[in-house]
Amino acid sequence: MTRILFILFILTALGLADEYPKFFAQLGTPLYKADKAFTRLSSLSDMQEKAELYHIEAQKLLHFAEDLEKEPKKLATKRKTYVKRLRALQKVHDEILRIVNANLLKSIDADDYPVFHAIIDSDIDALLDNHVIRKRVMAYYVGHRTRGKLTSLDNIYATLESDTVLKEYVKGHLPRIELIPSTYSSGGSVHKTQLSKNEKLAYLADGNHCFKVVDIRDFSSASEFGTYEFPESECSLIDITVSSNFKYVFLSDLKNGFAVLDVSYAIAPLLQGQYAKIKARASLATEDGNIAFVVQHERGLSILDITDKEEPRLLANYNHGLSINNITLDEEHSRLYLAHTKGLSILDISMLGNPREVLSLEVEGGSNHIALSHEKKIAYLASQDNGVQVLDISDDQNLTLLSNYQTPHDAHHLTLSKDESILYISSMLDGVHKVDTKDSYYLKHILTYKVDKEASAFSTQLDKDEKNLFISYGEAGLVKIELTQ
């Protein structure tokens, strides 16, 4: 307890000491700034006693310098004393820095990213002056930055091309990227892909080119098989889902609302029913195909009775000021997960006419999508520029953050494998990350799929045997990846 109070006292005092003496600043300022960093790291091995002694001496010297600033005449007579004491403090600083470096290398060898992150984030100016330390740190960071970004190292990473020696050292540690050689060009912008029952056809939400059916039996020569366009309006189709019996495709169109297509004769899809009163951006249907949950553009959620496919009927609206991006349904537990611009909300939908929020989580910047691991009772939350947050949802009263997987660009859409061991993260301009989820406290990057041009990876879809991954790659079209173990 005494130690905790001491550290709190030091941090409070240091928070007020961001302005340092202007004379001999080149020597003094880095030493005074290091005081705050050393205190933050006092829990490291062999650090506590030396950090406390350093702080005491640094504070004494600051008071000495303040006294000299108040009376400039004293500076002329005591400048030698001040410089001498600064040099003495420099020696202690260098001793502590060697201890910090030893702990830093130990954290790399032990793959202890939290300690590594804490040391680098302490902002010690001289930490990376040692070329060996700098190489080891950057090699480790480029392979593990998905576990938490560090601005100081990202700045070095961004200028890697100008440092050929460092680039050569770290290149073997860079994340593995698999460039996709060819795609099926739809002519539009593919946002979402679903497969037919026999998986010979792909259904595309193709933006302003509306709905397309593509023959993918031989993907290298894939061709358009059927189309549907709304007769009275242009399309802005960004989401589709398929009914459990594969007879219907549910369309979410920002201009034409929610619609039900009969695709039993896929060469000529037939409009079965439409609810045009809303701007629909995403939807899901229950297993029996009688209820549809439809996300409205910036206006919350609508619950529709679609028992009669020709006349969808509104059961309830849920707004509460939410701008929802996507939804995930846990039908077994009557829970609907909403990813929205404020974070995450979980609704109890046991009474369809009166959905109510049972849990929520605020996320800075909001969230885009959710994938559920039923076996582990975990929710993976695509949290835009915060990457993917791994949440424990086993407690009905609370959501617990277990870990975070950082993505360079917004995490937009998630697909979880059947055995829940692999997560595919669509990260827009950064492509699709394939991630090992066996350890919920550390999601490990396996590789990234990218096309060799500027395009947005919106979403992914696995076939039923999980031998192939289809990527809805926006302007680049549709991509098929043959998966290997």
Based on the fold, state whether residues 289 and 383 are members of the same structural domain. yes
DSSP states of 72-131 as a string? HHHHHHHHHHHHHHHHHHHHHHHHHHHHHHHHHHHHHHTT-HHHHHHHHHT--TTTT-SH
Question: Of 94, 110, 127, which one is at a domain's C-terminal end?
Answer: 127
What pLDDT is attached to residue 18? 59
- Cα gap 387→427, rounded to integer Å: 9
- Cα gap 285→307, rounded to integer Å: 11
Based on the fold, state whether residues 101 and 27 are members of the same structural domain. yes
Based on the fold, state whether residues 311 and 214 are members of the same structural domain. yes
Based on the fold, state whether residues 96 and 215 are members of the same structural domain. no
Task: Give me the residue label for tokens 């949290």.
Answer: 383
Based on the fold, state whether residues 122 and 196 are members of the same structural domain. no
Q: 23 lies in which domain range?
A: 2-127
What pLDDT is attached to residue 75? 67
Count of Cβ atoms closer than 10 Å to residue 341 Cβ: 16
**Torsion sign (Cα): 162, 167, 173, 179:** positive
What pLDDT is attached to residue 101? 92
- Number of structural domains, the chain? 2
Of 331, 330, 276, nearest to 304 by C-alpha is 276
Q: Is 149 within a domain?
A: no
Based on the fold, state whether residues 198 and 324 are members of the same structural domain. yes
**CB neighbours of 356 closer than 8 A, spacing ≥ 6?**
347, 348
Based on the fold, state whether residues 185 and 54 are members of the same structural domain. no
Q: What is the pLDDT along the chain (485 residues), one digit of tens a residue?
A: 444 444 444 444 444 445 777 777 788 888 888 898 898 898 898 888 989 999 999 899 888 878 777 776 766 677 788 888 889 999 999 999 999 999 999 999 999 999 999 999 988 878 888 888 999 999 999 988 888 889 899 999 888 888 889 989 988 888 899 999 889 999 999 999 999 999 999 999 999 999 999 999 999 999 999 999 998 889 999 999 999 999 999 999 999 999 999 999 999 999 999 999 999 999 999 999 999 999 999 889 999 999 999 999 999 999 988 899 999 999 999 999 999 999 999 999 999 999 999 999 999 889 999 999 999 999 999 987 778 999 999 998 899 999 999 987 889 999 999 999 999 999 999 999 999 999 999 999 999 999 988 999 999 999 999 999 999 999 999 999 999 75
Report how far Cα 147 is from the mean position of its chain's Cα atoms. 10
What pLDDT is attached to residue 129? 86
Write down the number of H helices and E strands in the chain: 8, 28
**CB neighbours of 218 closer than 8 A, spacing ≥ 6?**
none
Strand order in the sheet with 248-253: 237-242, 248-253, 257-262, 270-275
What pLDDT is attached to residue 485? 57
Torsions phi, psi for 435 (to 5 deg) = -130, 135
Report how far Cα 99 is from the mean position of its chain's Cα atoms. 34
Based on the fold, state whether residues 114 and 218 are members of the same structural domain. no
